[in-house]
Structure 1
Amino acid sequence: MGSFLATLGLIALLLLCAPVAPAGAAGLDYRTSWVGNTLGFGNGRWVPNAVEDIAVTPEGVVVTNTEWDEAGGEITLIRDGKVEGVGDHTHGWGNFGGDAIAVGDGYAFTAARIENAGGKLANRPGYPEKNTVWFGLMRRELDRLQRGAPFEGGVGNSDDVNPSPVLNSFLRITAVREGEDAAVRGLAVQNNVLYAATPLRNRIDRFDTRTMRRLGAWEAEQPGKMTPDGAGNLWVILRTTGTQGRQVVRFDADGKRTAQVPLPAGTLPVDVAVGVDGRLLIADNGPNQNLLWFQVDGNTVTPAGELGERGGAYSTRNGARAGSVGPLRFQGLTSVGLDRKGNIYVAMSGMGPRPVGHRPYHYGAVIESYTPDAKPRWRLEGLLFLDTVHVDPADPGWAYTGTRRFRLDFDHMDPGSEWRYTGITQDPFRYPQDAAFAAGPEGRGFPLMRRIQGRLFGFFTDRHAKYLKIYRFDPARSELAVPAGFISTRRIEGNWPPFQPPSGEWIWHDDNGDSRFQANEFERNGGRDAPAMQAWWVDDRGDVWAGSYDQGIRRFRLRGLDRQGNPDYSFDTVEREPMPAPFTKVQRLQYFPETDTMYLTGATAAKPYDPGQWDSIGRVVARYDNWRGTSRNTVRKPRYVVEVDSLPGRRPTQGIEGIAVAGDYMFLVEAEKAHVRVLENRTGRQIGVMTPGGEVGGESGWVDVPMGITALRRANGEYVVFVEEDARGKNLMYRWRPAPAPTPAPAGEAKRP
Structure 2
Amino acid sequence: MKNKLYLIVLVCLIGVEALFAQSTVPGKVTTSWIGNTWGGDIGERHAMNWINTFAVDKDGTVFCSSYWEEGGKEFGIYKDGKDLGRLENGHGSADGGAIAVNGNAVWVSVHQKAIRKYSKLTKAPTGLEFTVGRQVNGLAAQGEKLFVATDGKDEIGVYDTEGKLHSSFSAHHPGKLAADKRGNVWMIEWPFSNKLYCYNPSGAKIKEINLGQNVKAAAIGYSEAKDLLVIANYDINSQQVFVYGNLATNPVRKRTLGVKGGIYSGTPGLIKPLKLNHPYNVGMDDQGIIYVDGFGLYPDYHADGMNRSDGFGSHLKAFDQSDKLKWEIICTSFVDMAAIDPRSDGSTAYSKHERFDLDLSKTVAGTEWTYKAFTVDKKNYPEDLRWNNKGHQSTVWIRYINDKKMLYVGDMYCTGLRIYRFEGEIAVPAGWVGRDKIWIDKNGNGKEEKEETESHTHHPPDSWALWPDENGNIWSAKQEGPIYFWKLNGLNQYGNPHYKLSDVQTFARPEEFRSVQRVRYDNKNDRMYIGGWKKGTKYADEWWGIIGDQIIAYDGWLKGNKNKKYALDLKYDINSKIPLGEVSFAYAGDYLFVVGSRTRARTLVYNNLDGSFKGEILPGEEIGGVDKTGWIDVRDGVDAYLRSTGEYLILVEEDYMGKVIMYRWKP
TM-score by length of 1: 0.81
Cα shift readout 1:64-119 (whole Å, capped 9, x = no counterpart): 1111110011111112210011123241xx42342321001421111221xxxxxx
Q: 2:615 — aligned with what?
A: 688
Structure 1 residues 385-400: aligned runs within 5 Å:
385-395=334-344, 396-400=346-350
In structure 1, which of residues 298, 317, 333 is the aligned counterpart of residue 279 of structure 2? 333
Partner of 1:524: 455
Aligned-partner Cα distance in 2 for 1:520–1:640: 45
Percentage of pairs with the same residue = 30
Which residue number in structure 1 is paired with residue 565 of structure 2?
639
Partner of 1:136: 114
Give the equivalent residue in structure 1 for 2:594: 668
Distance 1:101 1:267, change over 3 A: same
Q: 1:172 aligns with which of 116, 131, 136?
A: 131
Q: Does 1:216 align with 2:167?
A: yes
Letter in 2 for 1:313: I
Letter matched to residue 656 of structure 1: E
Asked if 1:304 corresponds to 2:254, the answer is yes
Give the C-alpha shift of residue 299 in structure 1: 5.4
Mapped partners of 2:174, 2:211: distance in 1: 17
After TM superposition, give the deviation of residue 400 of structure 1 in Å: 0.4
The structure-2 alpha-carbon separation of the partners of 1:608 and 1:576, relative to structure 1 and needing over 3 Å to count, comes to farther
Q: State the 1:22 CA deviation.
A: 4.3
Deviation at 1:25, TM superposition (A): 4.4
- Which residue of structure 2 aligns with residue 197 of structure 1? 149
| 1:679 partner SS | strand
Q: Deviations over 1:236-281 (max 9, x none)?
A: 11142xx5x5432111112222112221212111111223333321
Is 1:677 matched up with 2:626?
A: no
Q: What residue in structure 1 maps to residue 637 of structure 2? A: 708
8 Å CA contact 2:462–2:479 kept in 1: the answer is: yes
Taking a change above 3 Å as real, the CA distance of residues 564 and 24 of structure 1, as seen in their structure-2 partners, is: closer
Larger Rg: 1
Question: Which consecutive unaligned segments of at least 5 residues does structure 1 have?
Answer: 1-20, 114-133, 152-169, 175-181, 490-504, 739-753
SS of the equivalent of 1:313 reads helix
Q: Which residue of 1 aligns with 2:546?
A: 616
Match of 1:575 in 2: 505
CA gap of 1:606–1:684, structure 2 versus 1, over 3 A, is farther
Look up the match of 1:41.
40
**Secondary structure, counterpart of 1:99 in structure 2:** strand
Please give the alpha-carbon distance, in whole angstroms, between the structure 2 residues aligned to 1:525 and 1:352: 31
Partners of 2:210 and 2:245 lie apart in 1 by: 11
Q: Secondary structure at the match of 2:610?
A: coil
| Partner Cα separation in structure 1 for residue 300 and residue 169 of structure 2 | 24
Separation of aligned partners in 1, 2:657 and 2:155: 36
Between 1:82-91 and 1:606-615, the stretch displaced more is 606-615
CA distance 1:295–1:531, change in 2 (3 Å): closer
Cα distance, 1:295–1:612 mapped onto 2, change above 3 Å: same
Q: Following the alignment from structure 1 to structure 2, what is the Cα–Cα distance between the partners of residues 43 and 258? A: 52
Letter aligned with residue 676 of structure 1: T
Structure 1 residue 646, shift from structure 2 partner: 8.0
1:387 touches 1:445 (CA, 8 Å); kept in 2? Answer: yes
Q: Distance in 2 between matches of 1:195 and 1:297?
A: 19
Task: Specify the alignment match of 2:196 in structure 1.
Answer: 248
Q: Distance in 1 between matches of 2:540 and 2:89?
A: 33
Task: Name 1:235's counterpart in structure 2.
Answer: 186
Residue type of the alignment partner of 2:29: Y
Within 5 Å, give how 1:221-300 maps onto structure 2.
Answer: 221-240=172-191, 246-275=194-223, 276-287=225-236, 288-296=238-246, 298=248, 300=250
* CA RMSD of superposed structures (Å): 2.1
So what's the TM-score if we normalise by structure 2? 0.91
Amino acid at match of 1:263: L
Conserved in 2, the CA contact under 8 Å of 1:390 and 1:710? yes
Unaligned 5+ runs, structure 2: 1-19
Inter-partner Cα distance in structure 1 for 2:173 and 2:637: 40
1:307-322 → structure 2 map (5 Å cutoff): 307-316=257-266, 321-322=267-268
In structure 2, relative to structure 1, the CA distance for the partners of 1:602 and 1:203 (3 Å cut) is farther
- Distance change in 2, residues 1:378/1:297 (3 Å): closer
What amino acid does structure 2 have at the position aligned with 1:345? Y
Q: Structure 1 or 2: larger strand share? A: 2
Q: Secondary structure at the match of 1:149?
A: strand
Task: Describe the shift of the 1:223–1:356 C-alpha distance in structure 2 as closer, same or farther (beyond 3 A).
Answer: farther
Cα distance in structure 1, aligned partners of 2:654 and 2:472: 28
Q: Which residue of 1 aligns with 2:106?
A: 108
User: Deviation per CA, 1:537-588, whole angstroms, max 9, x where unpaired?
Assistant: 1111110111221222111111110010000113222111122121121111
- State whether structure 2 residue 513 is matched by structure 1 residue 562: no
User: Deviation of residue 173 (structure 1)?
Assistant: 1.9
Counterparts in 2 of 1:355 and 1:325: CA distance versus 1, 3 Å: farther
AA aligned opposite 2:631? W
Question: Are positions 1:736 and 2:662 aligned together?
Answer: no
- Partner of 1:61 in structure 2? 61
Return closer, same or farther for 1:25/1:442 CA change in 2, 3 Å cut-off. closer
Please, which of 534, 554, 558 is the counterpart of residue 604 of structure 1? 534
Change (3 A) 1:405 1:24: closer
Instruction: Report the Cα distance in structure 2 between the residues aligned to 1:453 and 1:549, rounded to whole angstroms.
Output: 32
Between the aligned partners of 1:339 and 1:581, the Cα distance in structure 2 is: 68
Q: Distance in 2 between matches of 1:261 and 1:578?
A: 69
Paired with 2:500 and 2:152, the residues of 1 have a C-alpha distance of 46
Q: CA deviation at 1:332?
A: 2.7
Deviations 1:181-215 (CA, angstroms, capped at 9, x unpaired): x5212111012111121223333222111x11112
Task: State the AA in 1 paired with 2:378.
Answer: P
Q: 3-state DSSP class of the match of 1:405? A: strand
Partner SS state of residue 152, structure 2: helix
Confirm or deny: 8 A CA contact 2:513 2:535 kept in the other structure. yes
Question: Shift of the alpha carbon at 1:362?
Answer: 2.1
Q: For residue 632 of structure 2, give the secondary structure of its aligned residue in structure 1.
A: coil
Do the aligned partners of residues 638 and 206 (structure 1) sit closer, same or farther apart at CA in structure 2, a change above 3 Å counting? farther
Distance 1:304 1:550 in 2: 67
Deviations 1:134-189 (A, max 9, x none): 522221111111x11113xxxxxxxxxxxxxxxxxx32222xxxxxxx52121110
Q: Please tell me whether the aligned partners of residues 459 and 477 of structure 2 are also in contact (alpha carbons under 8 angstroms).
A: no
Is this contact kept in 1: 2:42–2:624, CA < 8 A?
Answer: yes
Is the aligned partner of 1:481 residue 2:427?
A: yes
Q: Letter of the 2:567 partner, please give it.
A: V
- SS of 2:519's equivalent? strand
Cα distance in 2 for residues equivalent to 1:29 and 1:399: 22
Structure-2 separation of matches of 1:22 and 1:340: 47
Q: CA deviation at 1:618?
A: 1.6
Deviation at 1:443, TM superposition (A): 4.3
AA aligned to 2:379 is F
- 1:546 and 2:472 equivalent? no
Paired with 1:197 and 1:374, the residues of 2 have a C-alpha distance of 32
Q: CA deviation at 1:654?
A: 1.6
Deviation at 1:689, TM superposition (A): 0.3
Aligned match of 2:368: 418
CA distance in 1, matches of 2:572, 2:326: 53
